[in-house]
């Protein structure tokens, strides 16, 4: 390949619009920017953590069009036209999401490094399957690695979050 | 980890995709990116250009075509796992898709990408081999069909030309066949140390058709022809199953590595095959 061709590639910028936590973000971006880099470095949404950066650990998990995705293994340009929810967008205003409440109640974190990914994974799993069994929760949590290995409390928290979410849908007295 | 620069295009149709490839012959197709992007990060691949297939409508969807199911190449693992038609008519494909990686990987990874990537420990190749599936491929030179058997040449090697893309897979319906996929995952990678896919069709208490395919054990997924032959025509009992299972690696160069020696893997494949067959009874 000629140097000129390389230079053209480096300069290629692609217009994208990604809806992030409810707000449309329009920009022109180089194709080699990962969604994790777009979130953290371009938008300062540093709640999304990058652990392994090789799609193994799940710390970078976000919701893309409602489905859990590792943001270190999708290009920002691939998310063009899609809706992304990061941990910053999980709560509604000042009210924590039931998954966050449950993580707090069950002490489902130690150092907290994997927690943004664990929260997003849990939220995504419960959207997909609102009444998971214990074994479905464990299988789903295959999508994160917690280096503090506090899985037991994470499982408890997800089970509790499922109940809290069911309560929200069916409030007392309804 | 910033990826090396590359050019990017998202063609809107199959014709546009084929044309873009003709103009940038060193480009690579990008589907779910679950294998290609990690390879680029590890500098095992450095394509000058990526052609993102997610905008090509022709690669999507699952259709009933009479005796076959037509499964678009961009079908995600999660869709394959859950689709009611696939679960009814080609259950084995769903069972294998369910066992791939983790939820995030199943949400992005695609059937076409998995077959084209041809990892020797991947799950779908075994299931699709056992189901006698066929691949439909397209390039500027036209369209062709090839069996999954003929597609898989070796580790990360397929019979696809560099500019060819998988459009769909076609699976002959296996409605009513008894099917199972058993996987012993590697504890770190989650890929199969041994994966055994079985589809058995019985009539009047005898096996009319037996398909057994194995992944993770050799340099590519394979059909266990001798084991299948033992089952064919038999009224299956414990003894027949054990004999068939004992022959599952027959003629194969079984892989050994730090985690599983060749002898261990062969033994594991035999035990897993016997249990899978027993589980179908
Ligand atoms: C953490 C992790 C765990 C995993 N675990 C498993 C597992 O347990 N079992 C398993 O089977 N797999 C596993 N995978 C791999 C996963 O199944 C991938 O989705 C799959 O191998 C590739 O599909 P893709 O759509 O992501 O392809 P891509 O990564 O987009 O592409 C892979 C290759 O195929 C080519 N290609 C893509 N689409 C086409 C097409 N339509 N026609 C021709 N060529 C094409 C690309 O150019 C590239 O060379 C895992 C992946 C990760 C990241
Ligand atoms: S940082 Fe993305 S999976 Fe580990
Ligand atoms: S809480 Fe420390 S990595 Fe999970």
- The complex scores an ipTM of 0.94
Mutate to test the pocket of ligand 1, among B41, B100, B111, B195 (most ligand atoms within 8 A of CB): B100
Q: Do B168 and B185 share a domain, yes or no?
A: no
End residue of a domain, out of B125, B150, B172 = B172
Q: Is residue B1 part of a domain?
A: no
Mutate to test the pocket of ligand 1, among B77, B102, B105, B118 (most ligand atoms within 8 A of CB): B105
Q: Do B219 and B140 share a domain, yes or no?
A: no
Confidence band, pLDDT 50/70/90 cuts, at residue B146: very high
CATH level 3 topology of A98-169 = DNA polymerase; domain 1 (1.10.150)
Nearest CA to ligand 3 atom 4: A146
- Residues near B185 by Cβ (< 8 Å), separated by ≥ 6? B99, B191, B192, B193
Task: Give start-end residues of each CATH 3.10.20.30 domain in chain A.
Answer: 14-89
CB B172 within 8 A of CB B68: yes
Residue A68 has its nearest CB partner, among B33, B49, B107, at: B107
The Cβ-side half-sphere exposure at A155, using a 13 Å CA radius, reads: 13
* Torsion from C-alpha of B30, B35, B37, B41, nearest 10 degrees: -150
Helix (H) or strand (E) holding B72: strand B68-72
End residue of a domain, out of B172, B193, B214 = B172
pTM for the structure as a whole: 0.95
CB B214 within 8 A of CB B195: yes
**The domain that contains B16 carries what CATH number?**
3.30.43.10
Domain holding B228, by residue range, is: 178-279
User: Which chain B residues are Cβ-neighbours of A121 within 8 angstroms?
Assistant: 103-104
Helix (H) or strand (E) holding A67: strand A67-70
Cα-to-centroid distance, A145 and ligand 3 (Å)? 8
Query: pLDDT by residue for chain A (174 residues), tens digit each?
Result: 444 445 444 579 999 999 999 999 999 999 999 999 999 999 999 999 999 999 999 999 999 999 999 999 999 999 999 999 999 999 988 899 999 999 999 999 999 999 999 999 999 999 999 999 999 999 999 999 999 998 999 999 999 999 999 988 765 554
CB B199 within 8 A of CB B158: no
Number of structural domains found in chain B: 3
Nearest ligand, measured from the Cα of B30 = 1
Q: Which CATH superfamily is domain A14-89 in?
A: Beta-grasp domain (3.10.20.30)
Distance CA A78, CA B53 (A): 10
Q: Is residue B2 part of a domain?
A: no
Atom of ligand 1 nearest to the CA of B166: 42
Distance CA B230, CA B241 (A): 8
Q: Is residue B195 part of a domain?
A: yes
Q: Do B74 and B28 share a domain, yes or no?
A: no
Task: Judge residue B226's burial from the number of C-beta atoms within 10 Å of its C-beta, 0-12 exposed, 13-18 middle, 19 or more buried.
Answer: middle
């Amino acid at each position: 390949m000629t140097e000129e061709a390389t230079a053209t590639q480096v300069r290629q910028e692609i217009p994208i619009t990604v809806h992030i936590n409810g707000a449309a973000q329009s920009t022109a971006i180089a194709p080699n920017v990962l969604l994790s880099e777009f979130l953290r470095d371009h938008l300062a949404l540093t709640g999304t953590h990058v652990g392994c950066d090789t799609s193994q650990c799940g710390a970078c998990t976000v919701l893309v069009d409602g489905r859990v995705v590792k943001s270190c293994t999708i290009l920002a340009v691939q998310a063009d036209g899609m809706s992304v929810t990061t941990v910053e967008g999980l709560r509604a205003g000042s009210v924590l999401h039931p998954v966050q409440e449950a993580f707090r109640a069950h002490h489902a974190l130690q150092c907290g490094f994997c927690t943004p990914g664990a929260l997003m994974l849990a939220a995504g799993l419960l959207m997909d399957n609102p009444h998971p069994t214990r074994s479905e929760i464990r299988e789903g949590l295959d999508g994160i690695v917690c280096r503090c290995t506090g899985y037991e409390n994470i499982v408890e928290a997800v089970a509790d979050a499922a109940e809290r979410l069911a309560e929200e849908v069916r409030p007392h007295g309804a | 980890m910033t990826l090396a620069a590359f050019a990017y295009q998202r063609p809107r149709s199959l014709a546009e995709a084929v044309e873009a490839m003709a103009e940038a012959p060193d480009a690579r197709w990008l589907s779910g990116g679950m294998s290609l992007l990690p390879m680029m990060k590890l500098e095992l691949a450095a394509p000058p250009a990526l052609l993102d297939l997610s905008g090509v409508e022709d690669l999507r969807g699952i259709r009933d075509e009479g005796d076959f199911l037509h499964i678009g190449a961009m079908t995600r693992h999660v869709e394959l796992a859950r689709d009611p038609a696939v679960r009814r008519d080609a259950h084995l494909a769903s069972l294998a898709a369910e066992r791939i990686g983790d939820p995030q990987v199943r949400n992005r990874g695609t059937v076409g990408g998995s077959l084209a990537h041809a990892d020797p420990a991947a799950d779908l190749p075994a299931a699709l081999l056992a189901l006698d599936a066929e691949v439909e491929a397209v390039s500027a030179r036209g369209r062709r069909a090839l069996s999954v058997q003929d597609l898989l040449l070796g580790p990360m090697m397929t019979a696809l030309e560099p500019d060819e893309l998988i459009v769909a897979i076609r699976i002959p319906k296996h409605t009513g066949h008894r099917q199972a996929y058993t996987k012993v995952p590697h504890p770190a990678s989650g890929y199969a140390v041994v994966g055994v896919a079985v589809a058995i069709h019985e009539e009047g208490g005898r096996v009319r058709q037996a398909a057994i395919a194995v992944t993770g054990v050799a340099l590519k997924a394979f059909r266990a022809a001798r084991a299948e032959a033992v089952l064919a025509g038999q009224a299956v009992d414990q003894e027949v199953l054990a004999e068939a299972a004992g022959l599952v690696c027959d003629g194969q160069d079984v892989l050994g590595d730090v985690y599983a020696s060749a002898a261990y893997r062969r033994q594991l494949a035999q035990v897993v095959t016997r249990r899978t067959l027993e589980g179908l009874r």
